[in-house]
């Protein structure tokens, strides 16, 4: 049968589905001692169509899942839908359809596309976060965390968009505007729910060391957690009260010439009550985004009427409100040391403040020695910190501060998990009872696109009884950040129908940790921090075991076109569906795997790559077509002709290499190049080779199995053609035969004075002395040695080269 993917692929997909070959076992069905492999890809957002990024991600996952099955592992390979969030709500506003309808339609469409790619997902485990049998467990976990104090309510300054009536994440705010709509964003204090992520800051940092993750992702997480060792120090305010600062450089204390406080600092807010100019300045800063305040070159300050007293010199130090000091880091107050801190320096120059030098450093690496620092002058920086803390008594202490924030999970949105609490006039904020879950999203809502969330206008949703006192109360209208949905979804796959618990511990113990997680680098921080955090909480709740959810992480590179990311706005999208409907899934899969190493970008350069893949698949199909199925036994090594032996050596070396690539090195593109080389060797076997039929049968049998993870459809077809029973995807991965790993003879290249002069054959196991002697006896080299003095003969490691130096 020729290669006809458009006809054959759907038939083969049907066979797979009917045979249940993708089904993963439940914990109770696993035999003791069986090896398990959990292959996870980042769950997609159902935007409507799959794109090449999805194709690449899912193909990599599928190659791994299929390879592991063939290697005898029990494999877990599921997919679901991250289906709450803004786009559905925006579509609802734009087209007047309910987000649930839009979401369902998109899921159906994308699922069809993914199935056409032949990805081996266990669809019985499919989940979608917008369904109440998923999000009820978000609510259930929320209540568990509430009990333990892992969720709390607090006033925090947030990015507030009046027009949209919601809080925005820092990432969504650009130039003080909502990135999407351009509506202005201001800073405003709001009562919010928070997960206490900071409780796990140290563990989140420490556990990174043990993970098999890309270094750049680990670095991004370390920076995100941002552990800083330093000290807290309280300054007395002139006229009463104190201001506490956090500093990493207490040793620079004698260089302090001003104090900079955040505009939201309580001391500033109090001072602004009687100071209109200060009030106006604070309002001006409130209109700036967090990003601008951090990155801005423009340091803005406002000198207040306040001053603090230097704890050692007794000098009066002026207090400023400043835009570059953030309320949510450290204490929201900075001791300004312009000689030794860049931002403070800029600020001091702008406002004409003195810049005294108090540290002398010999090099960039030297922390320095104190100068002009009273009794501490001459001390090394590190020693000075300790000495100062001691001298300052209760006024100072060493502390650690983190950039990591508690995770604000409130969103003033409709399309998310309702936060399961109730506002009661007599009891305050009360958690809903677990038996009343799920708190469902109401259907009787209108989408206007502005103003407060539709939940706030739905009477059927709002009116409820207080879980504590039973009196009429009002339901919470905030919904959860959609990152909550993706923070434990991979555990629900393990037990998707469980109606008592989010998942049974037996299931998570059987499959966790995830053996390989593949996804985009854009999730290096938020998702991958939140997911690790949740897993630690689940462990502490007794629901899961182990410290970390994802043992190995690979971030696949992007698929580019003309050097830039494929995107709707650039109009440079290549639709995978279009490719599949023309070339079939195997060609697209093969291309995706072969085009580049997994973590590198792929440049989509038109259809040439896909056509190349098609030619290769056609060639293999033709080779099997032209081969007559043989049942003749493979003769022993001694009976084989040299070219037959050489082919079997190539075959077994390829098996060994590809096994290693897939199992240990997670190298995928070299698997395809290995198959290509091997196919050339197969084609080169002479027609008249004495045991041709048996050798070809043996080699093609292994070849087809090895191509199966990458091009599973064609492999399945060829497997039948070779007369093999059952499904190729369920066959065992070939084992390399040690008898054929070493060639009998190897070629040694002979160099004289750096020039290649000849080649000799020696037994593969020949020792160095034999190689050297053979090289010196090489007839082509002899003419270059005649009459010369041999200075030295070098056999570098590997022994495939002998280098002779003469004069």
- 179 or 425, CB closer to Zn ion? 425
If one asks whether residue 317 binds ligand ANZ (CB under 6 A), the answer comes out as: no
Residue of 478, 572, 583, 387 whose CA lies nearest to 193: 478
CB under 5 A: which stretch of 186-194, 289-297, 464-472, 685-693 binds Zn ion?
464-472
Cα–Cα distance measured from residue 302 to residue 322, given in angstroms and rounded to the nearest whole number: 6
Q: Give me the least distance between CB of 524 and ligand ANZ, in Å please.
A: 20
Compute the least distance from the CB of residue 253 to ligand ANZ, in Å: 8
Extract long-range pairs of 390-399: CB within 8 Å, 24+ residues apart.
391/312, 392/233, 392/311, 395/233, 395/234, 395/311, 396/231, 396/232, 396/233, 396/234, 396/250, 397/231, 397/232, 398/229, 398/230, 398/231, 399/229, 399/230, 399/231, 399/232, 399/246
CB atoms near residue 636 (< 10 Å): 8
Write down the least CB distance from residue 404 to ligand ANZ, Å. 12
Pair 309, 235: CB distance under 8 Å: yes
Q: Among residue numbers 425 through 454, which ones bind Zn ion (CB under 5 A)?
A: 426-427
C-beta of 274: minimal distance to ligand ANZ in Å? 25
Q: Among 38, 58, 246, 594, which residue sits at the site for ligand ANZ (rule: CB under 6 A)? A: 246
Beta carbon nearer to Zn ion, 80 or 420:
420
187 lies in the binding site for ligand ANZ (CB under 6 A): no
Min dist. Cβ of residue 482 to Zn ion (A): 30
Q: What, of ligand ANZ, Zn ion, none, does residue 73 touch, CB below 5 to 8 Å by kind?
A: none
Q: Does 468 contact Zn ion by CB under 5 A?
A: yes
Q: Which of 60, 335, 424, 727 binds Zn ion (CB under 5 A)?
A: 424
Tell me the C-alpha to C-alpha distance, in Å, between residue 233 and each of 71, 212, 333, 336: 60, 40, 10, 13
Contact pick of 361, 446, 469, 732 for Zn ion (by CB under 5 A)? 469
- Selected from 248, 457, 720, 803, the binder of ligand ANZ by CB under 6 A is 248
Q: Which is nearer to Zn ion, 117 or 424 (CB)?
A: 424
Sign of the C-alpha dihedral computed for residues 526, 501, 79 and 63 taken in this order: positive
Residue 334 binding target from ligand ANZ, Zn ion, none, CB below 5 to 8 Å by type: ligand ANZ
* Residue 693's binding partner out of Zn ion, ligand ANZ, none, with CB under 5 to 8 Å set by partner kind: none
**Mapping DSSP to helix (H, G, I), strand (E, B) and coil, where does residue 361 land?**
coil
Q: What stretch of H or E contains 370?
A: strand 369-370
Does residue 198 belong to the site contacting ligand ANZ (CB under 6 A)? no
Q: How far is the CB of 287 from ligand ANZ (least distance, A)?
A: 18
Closest CB 147 distance from Zn ion, rounded Å: 18
The answer to whether 378 and 209 are in contact (CB under 8 A) is: no
**Candidates 236-244, 319-327, 686-694, 775-783 — which segment interacts with ligand ANZ by CB under 6 A?**
319-327
* Closer residue to ligand ANZ in complex, CB, 401/708: 401
Interface with ligand ANZ: number of residues (CB under 6 A) = 18
The correct pick among 54, 249, 627, 692 for binding ligand ANZ (CB under 6 A) is 249
User: Which residues from 327-356 bind ligand ANZ, rule CB under 6 A?
Assistant: 329-330, 332, 334-335, 337, 340-341
Which CB sits closer to ligand ANZ, 246 or 535? Answer: 246
The residue from 167, 348, 353, 466 that contacts Zn ion (CB under 5 A) is: 466
Q: Which does 326 bind (CB under 5 to 8 A by kind): ligand ANZ, Zn ion, none?
A: ligand ANZ
Residue 337 contacts residue 252 (beta carbons within 8 Å)? yes
CB-nearer residue toward Zn ion: 425 or 684 = 425
Taking CB within 5 to 8 Å according to partner kind, which of ligand ANZ, Zn ion, none is near residue 427?
Zn ion
From the list 40-48, 241-249, 503-511, 587-595, the region that binds ligand ANZ by CB under 6 A is 241-249
In this structure, are strands 755-763 and 564-565 parallel, antiparallel, or unpaired? unpaired
Among Zn ion, ligand ANZ, none, residue 330 binds (CB under 5-8 Å by kind): ligand ANZ
3-state secondary structure of 565: strand
Listed in sequence order, the residues at least 6 apart from 719 whose beta carbon sits closer than 8 Å to its beta carbon are 704, 705, 708, 727, 728, 731
Give the integer Cα–Cα distance in Å for 68 and 664: 12
CB of 468 to ligand ANZ, least distance (A): 38
CA atoms of 467 and 779, how far apart (whole Å): 97
Whether the ω angle into residue 438 lies within 30 degrees of 0, i.e. cis, is yes
- Give 257 or 679: the residue with its C-beta nearer to ligand ANZ: 257
* Residue number with CB closer to ligand ANZ (249 or 492): 249
- Is 568 within any annotated ligand binding site? yes
The nearest distance, CB 422 to Zn ion, in angstroms, is 8
Distances (CA, A) of 304 to 260, 269, 275: 10, 11, 9
Measure the N-to-C terminal CA separation of the chain; round to a whole number of Å: 64
Q: Which is nearer to ligand ANZ, 385 or 516 (CB)?
A: 385
Helix (H, G, I), strand (E, B) or coil at 182: coil
Among 326, 526, 573, 685, binds ligand ANZ (CB under 6 A): 326
Contact between 228 and ligand ANZ by CB under 6 A: the answer reads yes
In the complex, the smallest distance separating the C-beta of residue 363 from ligand ANZ, rounded to whole angstroms, is 16
- Residue 325 lies near ligand ANZ (rule: CB under 6 A): yes
Q: Which single residue is written with the structure tokens 């996952």? A: 61
Cα(245)–Cα(71) distance, rounded to whole angstroms? 59
Helix segments in 168-317, DSSP class H: 201-206, 215-225, 266-272, 276-286, 290-295
CB nearer Zn ion, residue 429 or residue 773? 429
Residues 599-628 that bind Zn ion (CB under 5 A): none
Alpha helices in 663-802 (DSSP H): 669-683, 692-707, 712-721, 768-776, 779-785
**In Å, what is the CA distance from 756 to each residue of 354, 560, 717, 759, 780?**
72, 43, 47, 8, 10
Which phi and psi (to 5°) does residue 438 adopt? Answer: -80, 150
Give the separation between CA 423 and CA 483, rounded to whole angstroms: 25
Tokens of 536: 């630690």
- Looking at beta carbons, which pairs linking 576-581 to residues 24 or more positions away fall under 8 Å? 576/50, 576/51, 576/52, 576/54, 576/55, 576/113, 576/117, 577/49, 577/50, 577/113, 577/116, 579/607, 579/610, 580/113, 580/116, 580/117, 581/6
Q: Which secondary structure element, helix H or strand E, spans residue 802, and what is its range? A: strand 801-806
Phi first, then psi: give them for residue 779, nearest 5 degrees: -60, -40
Contacts of 6 (CB under 8 A, 6+ apart): 581, 584
60 binds, among Zn ion, ligand ANZ, none (CB under 5 to 8 A by kind): none
Site for ligand ANZ contains 247 (CB under 6 A): yes
Stretch that binds ligand ANZ, among 196-204, 310-318, 320-328, 480-488 (CB under 6 A): 320-328
Tell me if residue 143 falls in helix, strand or coil: helix
Binding flag, residue 381, ligand ANZ (CB under 6 A):
no
Q: What DSSP character marks residue 734?
A: P
Among residues 120, 197, 252, 453, the one that binds ligand ANZ under rule CB under 6 A = 252
Q: Between residues 388 and 555, which has the closer beta carbon with respect to ligand ANZ? A: 388
CA distance 478 to 421: 9
Give the range of 108-116, 154-162, 318-326, 751-759 binding ligand ANZ by CB under 6 A. Answer: 318-326
* Stretch binding Zn ion (CB under 5 A), from 271-279, 419-427, 483-491, 704-712: 419-427
Least distance (Å) between residue 469 CB and Zn ion? 3
Out of ligand ANZ, Zn ion, none, which partner does residue 630 contact, by CB within 5 to 8 A per kind?
none
CB of 245 to ligand ANZ, least distance (A): 7
Closest CA to 617 of 716, 514, 540: 716
Annotated binding-site positions for ATP: 568
Which residues bind to ligand ANZ, rule: CB under 6 A?
A: 228, 246-249, 252, 324-326, 329-330, 332, 334-335, 337, 340-341, 401
Binding residue positions? 568
| Binding region for Zn ion (CB under 5 A) | 424, 426-427, 466, 468-469
């Amino acid at each position: 049968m020729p290669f006809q993917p458009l006809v054959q692929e759907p038939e083969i997909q049907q066979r797979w589905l009917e045979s249940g070959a993708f089904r993963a076992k439940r914990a109770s069905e696993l035999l003791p001692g069986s090896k398990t492999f959990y292959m996870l890809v980042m769950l997609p957002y159902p935007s409507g169509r799959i794109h090449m990024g999805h194709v690449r991600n899912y193909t990599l996952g599928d190659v791994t899942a299929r390879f592991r099955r063939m290697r005898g592992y029990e494999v877990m390979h599921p997919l679901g839908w991250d289906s709450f969030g803004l786009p559905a709500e925006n579509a609802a506003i734009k087209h007047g359809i309910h987000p649930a309808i839009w979401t369902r339609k998109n899921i159906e469409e994308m699922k069809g596309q993914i199935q056409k790619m032949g990805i081996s997902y266990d669809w019985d485990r499919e989940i979608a976060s917008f369904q109440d049998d998923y999000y009820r467990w978000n609510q259930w976990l929320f209540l568990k965390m509430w009990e333990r104090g892992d969720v709390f309510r607090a006033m925090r300054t947030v990015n507030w968009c009046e027009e949209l009536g919601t809080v925005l994440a820092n990432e969504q705010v650009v130039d003080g505007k909502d990135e999407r709509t351009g509506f202005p964003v201001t800073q405003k204090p709001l009562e919010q729910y928070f997960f206490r992520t900071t409780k796990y800051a140290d563990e989140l940092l420490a556990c990174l060391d043990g993970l098999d993750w890309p270094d750049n992702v680990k670095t991004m997480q370390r920076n995100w957690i941002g552990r800083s060792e330093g000290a807290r120090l309280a300054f007395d305010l002139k006229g009463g009260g104190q201001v506490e600062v956090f500093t990493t450089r207490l040793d620079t204390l004698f260089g302090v010439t001003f104090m900079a406080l955040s505009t939201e600092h309580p001391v500033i807010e109090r001072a602004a009550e009687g100071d209109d100019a200060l009030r106006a300045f604070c309002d001006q800063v409130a209109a700036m985004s967090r990003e601008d305040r951090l990155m801005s070159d423009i340091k803005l300050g406002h000198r207040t009427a306040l001053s603090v007293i230097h704890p050692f010199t007794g000098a009066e130090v002026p207090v400023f409100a400043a835009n570059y000091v953030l309320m949510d880091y450290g204490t929201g107050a900075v001791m300004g040391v312009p000689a030794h801190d860049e931002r403070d320096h800029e600020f001091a120059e702008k406002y004409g403040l003195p810049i005294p030098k108090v540290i002398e450093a010999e090099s960039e690496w030297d922390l320095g020695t104190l100068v002009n620092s009273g009794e501490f002058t001459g001390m090394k920086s590190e020693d000075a910190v300790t000495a100062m803390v001691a001298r300052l008594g209760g006024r100072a202490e060493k502390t650690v501060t983190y950039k990591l924030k508690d995770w604000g999970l409130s969103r003033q949105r409709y399309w998310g998990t309702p936060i399961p609490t109730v506002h009661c006039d007599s009891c305050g904020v009360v958690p809903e009872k677990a038996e009343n879950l799920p708190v469902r999203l109401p259907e009787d809502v209108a989408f206007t696109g502005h103003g407060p969330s539709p939940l706030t206008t739905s009477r059927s949703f709002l009116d409820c009884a207080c879980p504590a006192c039973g009196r009429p109360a009002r339901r919470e209208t905030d919904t959860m950040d959609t990152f909550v949905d993706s923070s434990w979804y991979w555990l629900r796959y393990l037990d998707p129908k469980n109606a008592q618990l989010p998942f049974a511990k037996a299931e998570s113990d059987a499959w966790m940790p995830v053996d390989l997680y593949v996804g985009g680098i854009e999730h290096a921080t938020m998702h991958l921090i939140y997911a690790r955090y949740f897993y630690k909480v689940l462990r502490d709740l007794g629901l899961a075991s182990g410290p970390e959810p994802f043992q190995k992480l690979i971030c696949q590179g992007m698929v580019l076109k003309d050097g830039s990311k494929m995107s709707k706005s650039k109009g440079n999208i290549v639709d995978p569906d279009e490719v599949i409907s023309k070339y079939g899934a195997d060609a697209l899969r093969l291309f995706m795997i072969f085009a580049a190493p997994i973590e590198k970008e792929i440049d989509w350069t038109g259809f040439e790559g896909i056509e190349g893949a098609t030619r290769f698949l056609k060639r293999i199909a033709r080779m099997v077509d032209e081969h007559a199925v043989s049942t003749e036994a493979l003769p022993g090594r001694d009976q084989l002709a040299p070219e037959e032996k050489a082919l079997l050596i190539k075959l077994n070396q390829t098996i060994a290499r590809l096994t290693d690539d897939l199992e240990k090195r997670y190298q995928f593109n070299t698997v395809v190049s290995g198959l290509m080389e091997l196919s050339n060797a197969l084609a080169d076997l002479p027609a008249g080779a004495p045991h041709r039929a048996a050798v070809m049968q043996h080699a093609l049998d292994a070849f087809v199995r090895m191509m199966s993870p990458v091009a599973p459809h064609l492999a399945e077809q060829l497997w039948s053609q070779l007369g093999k029973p059952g499904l190729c995807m369920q066959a065992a991965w070939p084992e390399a035969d040690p008898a054929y790993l070493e060639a009998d003879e190897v070629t040694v290249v002979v160099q004289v004075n750096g020039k290649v002069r000849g080649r000799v054959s020696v037994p593969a196991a020949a020792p160095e002395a034999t190689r050297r002697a053979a090289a010196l006896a090489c007839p082509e080299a002899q003419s270059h040695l005649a009459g010369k003095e041999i200075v030295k003969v070098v056999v570098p490691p590997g022994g495939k080269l002998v280098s002779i130096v003469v004069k």
